[in-house]
Amino acid sequence: MSEIFFFLLLGLGMGSLYAMLGAGLVVVYKGSGVINFAHGALAMYGMFTFDTAWNRGEFYFPWRDFLPSHDVNIPVRITLASDGSWPMVPSIILALVVAAVLGLAVHFLVFKPLRNAAPLGKVVASLGVALYLSSVALLNFGNAFPIPKSIVPSDPIHNFLGLGRTYPSNTLWAIGFAVVMGLGVWCLYRFTTFGLATRAAAGNEKGAVLLGYSPQFLAAVNWVIASVLATAMAIVVGPLQGPITPMGLTALIVPALAAALIGGLRSIPIAVAGGFALGAVRTLLDIKKQDWFDGPLLWLQDGISQSVPLLVIVAVLFLRGHSLPIRGSVEEKRLPLSPQPTRMLQHAAVWIVMVALLANFWQNAGLRTVFAGALQTTLVFSIIMLSMVVLTGYIGQISLAQMSLCGMAAFMMSRMMADGLPRGSNLVPVGGPNFPWPLAALVGVIVAVLVGLLLGLPALRIRGVQLAVVTIAAAIAIQSIYLENDELTKLRAGVPAFIKTPTLVGIDIGARSGRFQNERPAFAIFLVVVLALVAYAVSNIRRTGTGRRFLAVRANERAAAAAGINVARTKLLAFGISAAIAGIGGVMLAFKQVEVSSANFPYLASLAVLAFAYLAGITSVNGGIVGGFLVAGALIPVGGNYLLSDANLEAYAVLFGGLGLVVTAIIHPSGIAPFFAGAWRVMGNWVCRMTPGAVTLRDGYGGQRRRELSVVLLAMWVGAALFVYNATFIEPMHWRIPLTMLLLWIATVIAATSGRYGPFSPNFAGARDEWASWFRRYGAWAGVGYVLGWLIWPLRVDTYSKLYMPLLGAGLALFAQMLYMQTRSGEPHDEALTDAEAHADELEFEEVD
Amino acid sequence: MALLEAHGVTVSYGGLHANDQVDLECEKGTLVGLIGPNGAGKTTFIDGITGFTPIAAGRVTFDGQDLEGLTPDRRAHLGMSRTFQSLELFEDLTVRDNLFAAAERPKWHSFLRDIIQPGANERQYVTQVEWAMELLDLADHADALPADISHGQRKLVGVARTLAARPRLVLLDEPAAGLDTAESQHLGQQMRGLLDEDISVFLIDHDMGLVLSVCDYIYVLDFGRIIASGTPTEVRNDPIVIQAYLGEEAGEAQARDAEAVRGLTRDGGSSDG
C-alpha cells in the first residue's frame, strides 16, 4: 500500500505539468473561447528556446528560411554565447519572453481574425499552429534530442516521508511550482477586476463590450498568461521525463485536455487537481503495469497508461457533456458550402490525363523513380483525404484519428495474410490464416469500420470541438494499445508487419519493382482505379439522399430530427463510411509500404491529414484529391523541391501545411479546391480543344455513343502521352510530335468511322475545317511556346527531357492564351470560348435521372 | 378518436410550468388553431408534442398511438411534422434538396444503393416533393439556396419541407410571422387546401385575422393553460379571450378598457402571473 502511495506521489511530478497545461487551456478558453490544441506546442517551443540558450548558447526564431541563398537571408539563428552556454537566468527570461510573444502572435495573427469563425475553423487553426511550431522546432533544434538539465536541485531525498524510498527533489520543486502558480492564477481570476472582466466576457462577449471591456485585449492577456505558464512549467518539469522531443511535448496536449475537461473548462483549481491526479495515476500504472496486467489482461499492459487520458476524457464528456460552457459569442459562421459534384467525367478526364502525363514526364530514370513514388503517395493520401471529406466536409464532425484507423486496417490485413513463415525483416514468424489479399484487405477494412463506429459513439452525445478532443485521445490510445502492442500484433519490438504483394489474375500489381523502388506503374494504375471508385462513391453520397441527410445534420440537428432524420444513426453512418474509406486508404498505404509499422501511422499524421484536407477544401471531392497532392512526399512538395533546385521542400511540407492551414482557416475557409475547380474547367476545355475535329465528328451522335466517344477520346490522349514518351525509335525527335498528332487524328477518324459508329459522319468535312481552324487559331501560340521551351531546355539538360520542355512550353502557352482570353472578356462565355464550352459539354457526365 | 390527443400535458422548466395540464384534440380533416399572447407556452406545447422537450406529466397520442418515449424523428415518421418559428432550414442544401431530405424515409442499407445507383432511391419521392413545391409556388426557386431567396419564400420552404413527407398532421409554428397581409391570406387559402389533400393542420399564430378566418376550432392558451376553446365565432366573443389576448395585443385604448375587468378575472385564472 505504501508502495502505491509512493508511486502516486512520484507521479505528481508529471502531474504538475499536466496541471499547468490544463490550467492554461482553461485560461485560454475563458479568454477567447478557443480549445487550444497548440498549447503543448507553445510550451514545447519555449522549453526548447530555454534549453538551446542555456546549453548551446543559441537562439532560434520561430520560423525557417526555406530558400537559403547567398545574398538575402532571413535571420533564423542568433548566437548568444560563443562558448556554447548562456547563463541560466537570462535563458529563462528569454524563453518566457518568447512564450509571451508567441502567445500574443497566436492571438493576434490567428484567433482574433477567427473570432467569429465556425468552431471547426478554430480547431483546425490551432492544429495548424501546433503543426507549424512542432515542425519548425524539428527543423531548428534538430532531432538530436537532449536530456535537459534541471534548473532546480535534483538531489535525491532518501527515505522520503518514511516510506523507505528515494524521492527526487526536483519533483517536489515541480509540485510546489505548480501549486503556487495554480493558486496565483486562481486568485488572479477570482479577486481582480481583470479576472472578473474575463469571466464576464466568457459568459457574454457582447455584454462585456457594453460594460467597456475589450474582449480582444482580455483575450490577448489571457493568451500571454497561458503561454508563459506553460513554458515556465515545462522548464521546471521537463527534465523529469527524459529526452525532450517536439512530438512528445506537443502530445502533452492530450493529458492537458483531460485535466482541463475535469475542470469543466471552467475551474482552474479543479483542472490543476485533475492534472495532478492524472499524472499520479499514469505514473503508477506505468510502474505497476507488469504486475497488474498479466495473464488475461496481458494485452492491456503496453497501452494502459497511455490510454488513461482517453478514459478520463470519455468519462468526463459523458457525465457532463451538456454542462460544458459554450461561449456566448456574437455570431457564428458556418462551414463552407459543400458543392454538388458536377461534370464528373470531365473532372476524371482532367485528373487522369494529368496523372498519366506526370507519370511519364521525367525522362531521367532516377527522377522517374522519385516521381513514381511521389505519385503513389499522392494517390494513397487522396483516398485517405476523401474519408475526411465525408466525415468533416459533409456531416461536420471532426476526427483526429483517421490515420489510426488506416493503421488498424493495415495491421489487420498484414495479420490476416500472415502464414507463419518468416518474411521481409520479420524473422520471427507471425502466425495467421494466410488469407488471399482481397479477403485480408476486406477484414482490415471491416475492423477499421468497427473501430470507426466506436469512435463515432461519443459524437452522439457531444459535438464539434469536444469530439476532436476525444478522437485525438483515441488516436493515442489506438497507437499504444494496438499498433505498438507486441502482445496483440505478435511482432517483436520494432519489427514492421509484412504485407504480401497483391496480384490480379496472376499479374503482379505490387508497388515495388525488382530494385525495391516504389515505381511500378501497375500499382499506380491499381491506385487510380481504387481512388476513382472511392471518389465516385463519395460524389454519389453527396448527390443523393445519404448526403442530403449528412448535410442536413451538419446544418441543423434539431431541424433534421423534426424532418424525420435519425441524427444518431446518420452520424454513425458517416463515421462508418469514413472509416471504411480510411481503411481502404490504410490497406493501399500498406501495399505501398510493403512493411508497415506504427511509425507509419502516428497521431500527428492524422492532424496533418486533416490539415491538408482542410487546406485543399474539405467539403468537396476535388478538395480531397488535391489534398493528397500536398502531403509530404506527394507530387507537389516533390515537384516543388525539384523546380526550386533542391530546396528540400519535402522537409517543409508539414510546416507549410500548418501555416497554410492557419491562413486558409482565416481568409478562405473553403480551401483551394474551388480555385482548382475553375482551373480544371479551363484545362478540361483545353484538353478537349487539343483534339480538333472530334467534337464535330461526334455531333451526329447522341446519348450512350456520345459518352463512349468521350472515353475513347480520353484513352487516345493517355495513349498519345505514352507514345510520345516511348517512341524512341523515331530518331529526329521533333518529328515525334507531328507524328503523334497525325496518329491522334487517324485514331479519331477510325473511332468515328468504325463499324460501331456507322459510316462517315455527315460532319466529316466540318471536322477537317475545324482541324485547320485550330491550327490557324492556336498554331502560332503553340509554336512560340514550343520554341521557347526548346530554347530553355539546355539550362536543365541534366534532368529535363529535350522533348518535354518544348511540349511543356507549348502547353503553357496555350493555357496562358486561354486565361488571357478569359480575363480579357471578363466572362467565360467569350466568343473564343464558346466552342470550348461545347467541347467541354461533350465530356460531361449526363445527369442521372 | 381524434388524430392528435393531448391529455393533461405539463411541461416544466425548473419550477415554472410552461404548459400546465393542457388538454387538446385535433380531429382528422380539420384545421385547429392555438392562439395566445407572447410567452403563453404555444411553442413549448409543439416542442412537447413533437418530442423536443420532455413532458413532465400527461399523455399524447397520435392516431391512437401513445407517443411517450419516441424521439422526434420517430414521431415525424408516424406522420406528424412541424415547422419552426425561426425556420431552421438546411442552409447548405437547395430548396429542392431541403424538401427531399424531409421526404425520404431511408432504410439502413439505402446508402449502399445511393453509392452504387445514384438517383434510384429518390425516384419514389419525386412526386410528393414536386407536389409540395407546386403547392407553395416554389418551383421557380427549386435550385436556389435558402440564403438566396426572400424571407417570405424561406417561410414557405419551411412549410413545404413539412409537407414533402406527406404527413397526416402538420404543426405550423407562426408560419405567417413576417408575411404581409396578402401573403398571409394566400397562405391561409393554401392551408385550407391541405385539408382536401387529407392533411390535418395545427396552427399557431399571432395573426388573429388569419387564425379566426381559417381555423375550424381554436384553443386559447395563456400562462400555460387553456383558458378557452371553441369555433372562431365562439372564441371571438369570449370575454376571457378578449381580456387575455386582445387586451394585451391590441392598442392602448383597448388595454385601458380591459384594465378594469382584468383584476377580477385574473385572480381566479392564474395566480402565478
What is the number of other CB atoms lying within 10 angstroms of the CB of residue B16?
12
CATH code for the domain in which residue A242 is found? 1.10.3470
Pairing outcome for strands B80-82 and A595-596: unpaired
Q: How many angstroms away from the CA of A568 is the closest CA of chain B?
A: 10
Q: What is the pLDDT of residue A428?
A: 72
pTM, rounded to two decimals: 0.82
User: Are A595 and A609 in the same domain?
Assistant: no
Please indicate if any CB of chain A lies within 8 Å of the CB of B155.
Answer: no
Whole-number percent of chain A with pLDDT over 70: 75
Cell triple for A682: 479551363
Kindly state the helix (H) or strand (E) to which residue A833 belongs, with its residue range. helix A831-843
What is the tens place of the pLDDT at every residue in A134-150? 889 988 887 767 777 78
Q: How many angstroms away from the CA of B59 is the closest CA of chain A?
A: 20
User: Are A196 and A248 in the same domain?
Assistant: yes
Q: Which residues of A touch B (CB under 8 A)?
A: 334-335, 337-338, 537, 540-541, 543-549, 551-552, 554-556, 558-567, 569, 573, 577, 848-849
User: Are A164 and A16 in the same domain?
Assistant: yes
Whole-number percent of chain A with pLDDT over 90: 22
When pLDDT is cut at 50, 70 and 90, the band that residue A464 belongs to is low
User: Are A571 and A651 in the same domain?
Assistant: no
Query: Which residues make Cβ contacts (< 8 Å) with residue A794, sequence separation at least 6?
Result: none
Torsion angle of alpha carbons A445, A484, A251, A333, nearest 10°? 10
Q: Would you say residue A734 lies in a domain?
A: yes
Among A758, A650, A671, residue whose Cα is nearest residue A709: A758
Q: Would you say residue A360 lies in a domain?
A: no
User: Are A622 and A575 in the same domain?
Assistant: no
Q: Which of A335, A556, A849 sits opposite B88 (nearest CB)?
A: A556
What is the tens place of the pLDDT at every residue in A308-334? 888 888 888 777 755 555 544 434 456
Distances from the Cα of A425 to the Cαs of A161, A421, A500, A589, in angstroms? 50, 12, 13, 18
Q: Do A551 and B111 touch (CB under 8 A)?
A: no
User: Are A415 and A400 in the same domain?
Assistant: yes
Look at chain A and report how many structural domains it folds into: 4
Q: Would you say residue A291 lies in a domain?
A: yes
User: Are A687 and A753 in the same domain?
Assistant: yes
Q: Would you say residue A330 lies in a domain?
A: no
Q: Would you say residue A513 lies in a domain?
A: yes
Residues of chain B positioned with their CB less than 8 A from the CB of A562: 50, 52, 72-73, 76, 81-82, 84, 88
Last residue in a domain, options A323, A355, A377: A323
Q: What is the pLDDT of residue A800?
A: 44
Q: How many angstroms away from the CA of A555 is the closest CA of chain B?
A: 5
Q: Would you say residue A767 lies in a domain?
A: yes
What is the tens place of the pLDDT at every residue in A184-208? 999 998 888 888 888 888 777 777 7
When pLDDT is cut at 50, 70 and 90, the band that residue A70 belongs to is low
ipTM over 0.85: yes
Torsion angle of alpha carbons A601, A603, A605, A608, nearest 10°? 160
What is the tens place of the pLDDT at every residue in A697-742? 555 566 666 666 666 666 776 677 666 666 666 666 667 667 777 7
Residues of chain B positioned with their CB less than 8 A from the CB of A537: 115
When pLDDT is cut at 50, 70 and 90, the band that residue A387 belongs to is very high
User: Are A626 and A731 in the same domain?
Assistant: no
Specify the 3-state DSSP secondary structure of A678.
Answer: helix
**In tens digits, what is the pLDDT along chain B, a chain of 273 residues?**
789 999 999 998 877 888 889 999 999 999 999 988 888 888 899 999 999 888 988 999 999 899 988 999 999 999 999 999 888 899 889 999 999 999 999 988 899 999 998 888 889 999 999 999 998 889 999 999 998 998 888 989 999 999 999 999 999 998 888 888 888 888 888 889 899 989 999 999 877 788 888 999 999 888 888 988 999 988 888 888 877 765 555 444 454 554 554 444 444 434 333
When pLDDT is cut at 50, 70 and 90, the band that residue A420 belongs to is confident
Among A485, A329, A337, residue whose Cα is nearest residue A411: A485
Q: Which residue of A has its CA nearest to B125?
A: A545
User: Are A192 and A290 in the same domain?
Assistant: yes
The predicted model gives A622-637 an average pLDDT of 86
Residue A744, CB-side half-sphere exposure with 13 Å CA sphere: 26
Please indicate if any CB of chain A lies within 8 Å of the CB of B102.
Answer: yes
The predicted model gives A655-677 an average pLDDT of 75
- Lowest mean per-residue pLDDT among A185-189, A361-365, A628-632: A361-365
Rg of chain B over Cα atoms, rounded to whole angstroms, equals 20
Q: Which of A551, A565, A849 sits opposite B119 (nearest CB)?
A: A849
Q: Do A552 and B90 touch (CB under 8 A)?
A: yes
Length of chain A: 849
Cell triple for B177: 410571422
Q: Do A556 and B105 touch (CB under 8 A)?
A: no
User: Are A561 and A636 in the same domain?
Assistant: no
User: Are A193 and A179 in the same domain?
Assistant: yes
Q: Would you say residue A805 lies in a domain?
A: yes
Q: What angle do CA A820, A823, A826 make, to 5 degrees?
A: 150
CA distance A484 to A490: 10
Q: Which of B91, B114, B165 sits opposite A334 (nearest CB)?
A: B91
Residue A309: domain span: 2-50+91-323
What are B62's strand-pairing partners? B4, B65
The predicted model gives A577-591 an average pLDDT of 96
Q: Do A545 and B121 touch (CB under 8 A)?
A: yes
CA distance A38 to A335: 22
Q: Would you say residue A742 lies in a domain?
A: yes
Q: Do B101 and A548 touch (CB under 8 A)?
A: yes
